[in-house]
Structure 1
Amino acid sequence: MPSMLDCLIVGGGPAGLTAAIYLARYRRNALVVDEAKSRCAWIPNSHNLAGFTGGIRGTDLLARIRAQAENYGACIEAGSVATLKRLPGGRGFRAGLGDGREIDAASVLLATGVIDGQPRMSYLYEAMQRGLIRVCPICDGYEVIDRRIAVLGHGAQAVGEARFIRTYSPYVTLLTLGEPMVLPMEERGELDAAGIAVIEEPVTAVAAGEDMSTRLTLENGHILDFDTLYSALGITARSGLAERLGAAMNEDGRLVVDRHQCSSIPGFYAAGDVVSTLNQIAVAMGEAAMAATAIHNVLRNRD
């Protein structure tokens, strides 16, 4: 490994791995440090990624992109980046890895994504793989047309998601999990007019129902069966490194970047869900392509 990398890529999801493909083909020395925490790995079958007419499992997609990157010589390591600081004189960045090593890089691409707020369920991953729990109606709302759907959440995001999903099914219920739903009368009326039920009773038990459904038991003893649960409990950006570096972020903790995916700090780029953008694989890949090309051009001019 050279004493100074052209680029350190933090995160091995669709954005980070796509950037690795581009940088390898640009003949740049780049290293991907991957904690294996990509939310893409939770996708049971993605149907809206162009080119995969039958859909593709998230883990399979990651394996394909990784193999393509390695085919061009990209270096990908399992690990974590614990610290990141700028070198004097704008000469790049120094990253402290979880194993104690330090790596210098002329540029850094942050592709760490976000973490979805999830209900506390003992079989969460299995339920998501079976399509009983979902997190992205943009990704898979088409697959739940006319199904019985529960949206879990109690904030503005949950209300917006329930109204969005209503375009796919008339059987939508908003479950606040015991939290009070404080809404202006106008918004509450809009939910009622759309036929979206709001239940503020706590859920005390979750079990498998008949015909691949999910059965929820409320605190008052009522039992509700749903075909799909959508978690709308918010997201947390994995942007701690950027925050400590002083990069500009929005109120949700996601990075603000320019049209080349560069943050407010020269040489520090970001792509994918950690950016204030649409949380979609295709978008993450496109942002990665733009970031990698910008990094290459800046280095080319420097060289």
Structure 2
Amino acid sequence: MTGAPPLECLIVGGGPAGLMAAIYLARFRRRVCVVDTGASRAALIPRSRNVPGFVHGLSGTELIERMSAQLDELAVTRVDAEVTDLQRHDRGFLASWNGGAHAAATVVLACGIVDTHPPFDEWRAAVADGLLRYCPICDAFEATGRRIGVIGPLARAAGKALFLRGYSRDVTLLATEPDDDRAATSRLAEAGVEVVRAPDLRLQRRGDGIEAVFADGRTAQFDMIYPAMGAEVRSQLAMALGAEHTVEGYLKVDDHQRTSIRGLYGIGDVVTDLHQISVSFGHAAIAACTIHNSVPARLA
């Protein structure tokens, strides 16, 4: 991008949120660039049935490919790289990747999150086969009536287990850490969710399902497992600039997706634990419209 005019917007992250923001901004005829490492969490989705218009659902990879094709039609610059540094600049921001520095008036962070995976050597293949699932809001409907395990610290996993109890009578919480939250334990018991203490649990595939192996050698069989072990929020670039954030690392934004740093926006999973494609689309549209109205007008 040497010699090119400064970007009006740099988008960090090429998942559904980042690509949607780029589509909007490109259609506003703004100079925009998407920088992405190709590790979108959405690419792991075997089939999403919450995207409007796709009756039988579509995979995360297909969604990204379709949106990428739209960007190709709009001639949007995309770079396969990691933004390693982001600094304030007199014209906005200076971002570093591939050994170079690039100026941008505004920056949209659509970096997402990285899930903490359970002890399971074959986790990636299990996700692809629908055995290991991370989003009950997305796919609990397809888990109706199945044998479901939820793994994680009791305090973190209780809510997910109770939600899933609305879809199946057979829900077990595999608690990796002890917890004396009597209220949560009582709610689980009242709902008929079995709680099993499992600090040294490991998972393995068994037939068409997943087998939980406990430290004492006991095993339990499940049709599917939902981890509830937390995630790393990829908000480090914003936090280094002093952006306000939650204890977990989610960026705090206003109703226009603006962070506490002027010109810096956050969209999608990096700002909310409601990890939904439709939510990220909404964030992207709001941020893109706000950015378009915040930079100098472009005349035909």
Q: Provide the TM-score with structure 1 as the length reference.
A: 0.94
1:187 paired residue among 184, 191, 197 = 184
1:71 paired residue among 66, 70, 73 = 73
SS of residue paired to 1:60: helix
Q: CA RMSD in A?
A: 1.5
Residue 235 of structure 2 is aligned to residue 239 of structure 1: yes
Identity of aligned residues (%): 44
- 1:209 Cα deviation (Å)? 2.1
1:187 and 1:239 map into 2 onto residues whose CA distance is 30
1:294 and 1:142 map into 2 onto residues whose CA distance is 36
AA matched with 1:152: I
2:204 and 2:247 map into 1 onto residues whose CA distance is 37
Q: Is the 8 A contact 1:95 1:102 kept in 2?
A: yes
Q: In structure 2, what is the equivalent of residue 44 of structure 1?
A: 46
Q: In structure 1, what is the equivalent of residue 27 of structure 2?
A: 25
Q: Which runs of 5+ in 2 are unaligned?
A: none
- 1:291 Cα deviation (Å)? 0.7
AA matched with 1:72: L
1:27 and 1:68 map into 2 onto residues whose CA distance is 14
Q: In structure 2, what is the equivalent of residue 93 of structure 1?
A: 93
Q: In structure 2, what is the equivalent of residue 111 of structure 1?
A: 110
Q: Is the 8 A contact 1:181 1:200 kept in 2?
A: no
Q: In structure 2, what is the equivalent of residue 174 of structure 1?
A: 173
- 1:204 Cα deviation (Å)? 5.0
Q: In structure 1, what is the equivalent of residue 153 of structure 2?
A: 154
SS of residue paired to 2:119: coil
Q: In structure 2, what is the equivalent of residue 102 of structure 1?
A: 101
Q: How does 1:273-284 map to 2 (within 5 A)?
A: 273-276=269-272, 278-284=274-280
AA matched with 2:180: V
Q: Which runs of 5+ in 1 are unaligned?
A: none
Q: Is the 8 A contact 2:121 2:204 kept in 1?
A: no
Q: Is the 8 A contact 1:18 1:69 kept in 2?
A: no
**CA 1:48–1:182 in structure 2 vs 1: closer, same or farther (change >3 Å)?**
same
SS of residue paired to 1:287: helix
Q: Provide the TM-score with structure 2 as the length reference.
A: 0.95
SS of residue paired to 2:35: strand
Aligned length: 297
